[in-house]
Amino acid sequence: MGQLNGKVVLITGAAGGIGRATSKLFIEEGATGVVMVDIWDQMGEKTAKELGPSAIYIHADVSKESDIKKSIDFTIKKFGHLDIVFSNAGNPGAGGRIEEIDTDEFDHTVAIHLRAAFLYMKYTIPIMKKQGSGCFICTSSVAGFQQGMGSFPYSLSKAGLVHLVRIAAVELGAFGIRANAIAPGFIATGIFGQGYGLTREGAERLADLMKKTPSDGQAIRRAGLPEDIANAALFLASDSNSFVTGITLKVDGGLLSGRIPQDPQENMERWWEMISQLNPEEQQIITSRMEEGAQKAMEDLKYMIPEVRERIVKRMQKMVERRKQILDSES
């Protein structure tokens, strides 16, 4: 306790998931003020009220440079200094194949993840230089290290954050300023539900179900929790770790050490069992999105190398048959 006594912290994406868990932990560790930045006003205001007078919520869209400036100015006006910036806000990113991604959606994804982290550094560095100290933390992802763990612009942005903190660490070390990142694995947060098109509330319900579902594809066989990332952020933020800079801390349950082979049918059964606990409308949204993806995959089959196409068709047929059996049994 008390690792952050007297510190002022700004956390983006603070209304839900990782940001909310980190806000709570940082206040418990003695932070004088935690400025919670998000666009989910209802949950942000509710959470700040629950956390007490040290937490203050401010509406700001980190894809907008003016809103980033506004949140920094607010923090300095309120507290007089800013010690830690946790650039954590994110979205699932524009999905689809490279040739399908809308340019504006690509730009928006990069703006939220990579450009926002850069801009928070740009406008906070002069403040931290005068203080003679400061700490930047960015939320990267396993998707920044390995293909197939996120959408294309999301993954590209997360990889950029890994290098951003390396560059910043070297540039800022002489001023007593550190920069690090965290690469979460599959953490049970609302970002997955948002990726399927659910509302923020529906996405939170799915995240709660994910927390209770085993994750057998990694060394640690449980779902990752927002608190796991919050604890990593505390490690990087604490002055007791002042010799740590320029790293990306992988908090992934061992996922990047090597995926554990799994039975696709068993995974599918577990998935359908989980989403069957959502309301009918939410189930339909997820099902429709999955069917759209399957349809696109089917359309691509005709262009694939024949031997690859044959293997994929057989696998898809088995999964479709098994899914039908599951749905029939539920009916």
Residues involved in catalysis: 154
**Does residue 285 sit in helix, strand or coil?**
helix
Residue-wise DSSP of 188-213: -STHHHHHTT--HHHHHHHHHHHHTS
In terms of phi and psi (left: phi > 0; alpha: psi -120 to 50; beta: otherwise), the region of 197 is left
Rounded CA separation 103/229 (Å): 31
For residue 40, give Cα distances in angstroms to 17, 19, 66, 97: 12, 12, 18, 29
At 158, give phi and psi (nearest 5°).
-65, -35
At 251, give phi and psi (nearest 5°).
-120, 80
Question: Which residues make Cβ contacts (< 8 Å) with residue 260, sequence separation at least 6?
Answer: 216, 217, 218, 219
Do residues 216 and 264 lie in contact, with contact meaning Cβ atoms separated by under 8 Å? Answer: no
Token pair of 188 as six digits = 């049970």
Token pair of 191 as six digits = 């970002």
On the 0-12 / 13-18 / 19+ scale of CB atoms within 10 A, 270 is middle
Rounded CA separation 105/111 (Å): 10
Residue-wise DSSP of 265-331: HHHHHHHHHHHTTS-HHHHHHHHHHHHHHHHHHHHHHTTS-HHHHHHHHHHHHHHHHHHHHHHHHH-
Rounded CA separation 212/208 (Å): 7
Token pair of 268 as six digits = 């599918």
Rounded CA separation 147/164 (Å): 19
Rounded CA separation 179/162 (Å): 10
